[in-house]
Chains A and B, each alone.
Chain A
Amino acid sequence: MSEEACKTIWNFVPPAKFKLPAEPASRKARSFFQRLFPGIRNEDSESGHEAVQSELKNAPGALVDWLAPFPSWSQAATAIEETLSPWLEDEIPDGNSMVMVAPYGSGLGKMLAALAEKNHWRVLAAPDYRILRSRDFSWLADLPLNSESTVVIPRLEEFFLRHFNGLEHLRKFVEKIFKANSRYIIGCNSWLWHYIASAMHLGDSFSRVCYLQSLQAQDLQQLFCWLESQQNHRPTVFRQADNGSFVLPPELTGKGRVEVADNIAGAKSEFPSSFLKKLAVESRGIPLVAWAIWRNSLRLAPDEDVAEIAREVADNDAAATAKAKTIWVKAFENIELPVVPEGAGQADAFLLLFLLQHDGLTAETIFALLNFGRDQLISLLNRLQKAGVVVFENNVWRASWQGYPAIRRFLAEQDHLQDAM
């Protein structure tokens, strides 16, 4: 899989052109009836193979890292640059701010940071949350208003605090940007953007807005093939555990197959596989959500020596002559994804909504923003963490990528403010 091919999956489009991966009506109806009658079996799962699936071994972390490493964002940054080039090259552009909106778990902040680094643009550092909670607005005086270089704000979430003072900081900040002569490229997660536009009515304060187009099944195929070829030098095939079908085109996976891949890409009509189509729908085409579920689905055959496999895959020299290694992928219906715990209510919804809008929060900030008892919040966080819905990383609580589809459904059921993506 060539780098150039992978770049094409990242597209930024006007809001009106944004579209989600299409969900077949039959799947929608089935999921409704499954919620109504939880006992209904899923007809897609082939019962004859369940025993085999249950015997599959979990792939060790090192192996999963080789097969599906964390995406690098350089191609996405290049795609953003190409999208922005007419606006950047225009000497008298209409408006000085461009907001790039992407759903939670899209890696947008990292894409924009990579873009800024590549072009040596200034990245605007956010003030501390303690400042955003106060009525000290002095940091706004230091904003680069007349910088010749483009200014990048990778995550507007860092400038946002859903606090009575925090909102005033954001309002003044947006006003400063509006008056500035510099060009501002602003990354914003879709949950925050929806809040800014629908609740604060600040959406029109920015000159231009574009959305990251959701990844369709074909895009996910390209992404996973490309990720797999990054570090894995051994030819690998990915087969679905319940029926043996290929999940990724075997010609495109594994280093050393690039030439073959370029020749026959698109020749197979059965790709993208049904697994990837379901994954695209479930993940709403969000890169890191799909990536996390993909990693969770990878398994090894029962007779495989896990340690040996990890060594083999990592051995670049042996890989050149090695036979293709089979990695089994759990049938989509059998992947265990986190669910919001039974009995979760308003307090859980508030907590999850705040975590999404802020793209993660420290415990202290959560205590300050939500008027619940600390004991209650600690117990909520622990309960949601046990369920795999939230994770605690680098001192920050955030929604887990795998749990995001369940969180979104839960918030929709509770009628809470939704994002548009």
Chain B
Amino acid sequence: MSPENVGPEQIFRDFDQIPFFYIIFLVLAAILLSSLVRRLIPSLARVLPPRFSYYLLPMMPIFRLMITGLALLMIVPTIVKPSMQNFIAFFGAIGLALGFAFKDFASSLIAGIIAVYEQPYRVGDRVTINGVYGEVQSINLRALKLVTPDDDAVTIPHNCIWNGMVMNSNDGCREQQCSALFYLNPDHDAEMVCQILQDVALASPYTLFSRPIRVAVREMPWATQYRIRAYPVDGRDAFAYISDLTCRGKAALREAGLKFPAAGGIAGQAYDATDYAV
């Protein structure tokens, strides 16, 4: 029998042969399991030390995808007559329908599966996608949800990974390097400033001491640039940490009698794009 001769009555089982209660049971069981996973994994992540959450939370969409897939695999044979031709026709028709009607949706779903495998972002990562920076709050089948530093929730479909660029600041790790910039009038003792800024990072309660603290110096025509590079204990505190370093650094430099360059000098210069990097 060729596929073009296959009619619906030959693909699907008779109405009275379809075990509706079984299907409802499977759907409910899948929903229940999925919500159980959604609750259990975060609570397990809360109980365990925070570093484990970076491994556990990304597992959540994988488990949910597996549950959904398994439920579908069990449901389809109860609706479709079990033959290879029927399955090809059924999935072909679904694929065609999805291809036309839900092209972007299907694209996002497939990208979601690829994202689970490739992991360009994980729950808890700080990423920049399409120019939006934020922490990945959740990864669902179609889209991921970011929360920006301004506390805005942004939903981005997974198909952004096909053509767009995903910048991941911590790539699954808890640590995230942060840098705070300072500009000083060039006439000063650079070694002393390095020591002061080192102490600024050491004094900050956010600082993680298992990673190095570095102070980089760069001479510019109008000022000397100092950059503290250090890691906060929890990468989610990146903005708070940079603010803390900046406040402490300014106070420390002022107390040491160091002069900041005139505002006009800075305003006239083009900043390096990386100056804004977290």
Binding site for B on A (CB under 8 A): 35-36, 134-135, 162-168, 195, 198-200, 346, 350, 353-354, 369-371, 412-417
Contacts and interface: CB of A to CB of B under 8 A. Distances in A.
A415 B233 contact: yes
A90 to B, nearest CB: 35
B47 A164 contact: no
Chain A CB count within 10 A is highest, among B233, B247, B256, for B233
26 contacts: A35-B47, A134-B255, A135-B256, A162-B202, A162-B205, A164-B200, A164-B202, A165-B199, A165-B252, A167-B199, A168-B199, A195-B209, A199-B202, A199-B209, A200-B202, A346-B237, A350-B206, A353-B205, A354-B205, A370-B205, A371-B247, A413-B49, A414-B233, A415-B49, A415-B174, A415-B234
A412 B50 CA distance: 10
Majority-rule SS of A interface residues: helix
Contact of A416 (B51, B195, B233): B233
Contacts of B256: 135
Given A370-B205, A414-B234, A415-B49, 20 more contacts: A135-B256, A162-B203, A164-B196, A164-B203, A167-B199, A168-B195, A195-B209, A200-B202, A346-B206, A346-B233, A350-B205, A353-B205, A413-B50, A414-B50, A415-B50, A415-B51, A415-B174, A415-B233, A415-B234, A416-B233
Contact of A167 (B202, B233, B237, B247): B202
Nearest to B237: A346
Interface string B163-176: 00000000000100
A153 to B, nearest CB: 21
Interface in B188-207: 195-196, 199-200, 202-203, 205-207
A198 B209 contact: yes
Q: Which 8 A-B pairs have the closest CB atoms?
A: A350-B205, A164-B252, A199-B209, A164-B199, A167-B199, A164-B200, A164-B203, A36-B47
B240 to A, nearest CB: 8
B196 A412 contact: no
- B contact residues, range: 20 to 34
Contacts of A165: 199, 252, 255
Nearest to B49: A413
B157 to A, nearest CB: 32
Contacts of B38: none
Nearest to A35: B47
B44 interface: yes
B104 interface: no
A412 B233 CA distance: 12
B244 A371 contact: yes
Contacts of A354: 205
Contacts of B248: 164, 371
Contacts of A200: 202
Contacts of B203: 162-164, 166-167, 369
Contacts of B205: 162, 350, 353-354, 370
A163 B234 CA distance: 21
A371 B248 CA distance: 8
Nearest to B236: A346
B22 to A, nearest CB: 33
Contacts of B252: 164-165
Contacts of B49: 412-413, 415
